[in-house]
Structure 1
Amino acid sequence: MLFRKDIEPCCIYCKKGSPISEKEVACLKKGIVPAEGRCRAFRYDPLKRVPPRPAALDTGKLKQEDFSL
C-alpha cells in the first residue's frame, strides 16, 4: 500500500518537500506551500508516508470458547 505507483500527488509525500509543520511544506521548486498542495514536479517518496494506526482489538466480545480447538 505504501509503495504503489498510483499515489495521489500531495506535497507532504514529495521528494522535493520538507515538512515545516502539519499544514506547511518547504518545497525546493515553489517555496512554502500547503501540505495538501500538488504540482507537476511531484516525485513520490514512500519514506515520508506515515501509515494509519491499526485498528484496536475489541476483546469485550471474545469468550474462552474462541480460544479452544
Structure 2
Amino acid sequence: MLFRKKIDRFCSYCVYAGKLDDETYLCAKRGFVAACHHCRKFKYDPLKRVPKRRKPKDFSEYDELDFSL
C-alpha cells in the first residue's frame, strides 16, 4: 500500500533525496548516500514510491466459445 502507517524508511522514498543512479542518491541533508540508507531527517514522499506490477491474467483456460455472444 502506498499510504500505510508503517513504511520502510529508505532514502529512495525521502523528500530530501534525489536519484543519481539505481544505487546512489543525493541527499540535501547528508550528501551522497545509498538507496537503502536512512537517517533521522527522513520525510516520506508518496510520489517516489513505485507500486509493484500485477501479474497478467491467464486466459489459456478459456476457449473461443467463452468470448462469443
Partner of 1:32 in structure 2? 32
Displacement of 1:63: 4.2
Structure with greater helix percent = 1
Partner of 2:14 in structure 1? 14
Size of the aligned set, in residue pairs, is: 68
TM-score, normalized by length of structure 1? 0.85
Name the CA distance, whole Å, in 2 between partners of 1:41 and 1:66. Answer: 56
- Matched-pair identity in %: 43
Moved over 4 A (4+): 63-67
**Per-residue displacement from partner, 1:5-39 (whole Å, max 9, x unpaired)?**
21010000000100111111100111010011111
Name the CA distance, whole Å, in 2 between partners of 1:48 and 1:37. Answer: 15
Aligned residue identity for 2:55: A
Give the RMSD, CA atoms, in angstroms.
1.7
TM-score, normalized by length of structure 2? 0.85
Q: Structure 1 unaligned runs (5+)? A: none
